[in-house]
Amino acid sequence: MREQKKSRKRKALLKGSEKRVLAKKDKVEAETELKKTVALLDRAAAKGIIHRNKAANKKSKLTKKVNKLS
CATH number for the domain that contains residue 32: 1.20.58.110
Provide, rounded to the nearest whole percent, the portion of the chain with pLDDT above 70.
100
The answer, as to whether pTM is greater than 0.75, is yes
Counting the structural domains of the chain, the total is 1
57 is in which domain, residue-wise? 2-68
Q: Which of 6-10, 17-21, 26-30, 55-59 has the lowest mean pLDDT?
A: 6-10
3-state secondary structure the chain: CHHHHHHHHHHHHHHHHHHHHHHCCCHHHHHHHHHHHHHHHHHHHHHCCCCHHHHHHHHHHHHHHHHHCC
- 28-63: pLDDT as tens digits: 999 999 999 999 999 999 999 999 999 999 999 999
Res 70 pLDDT > 90: no
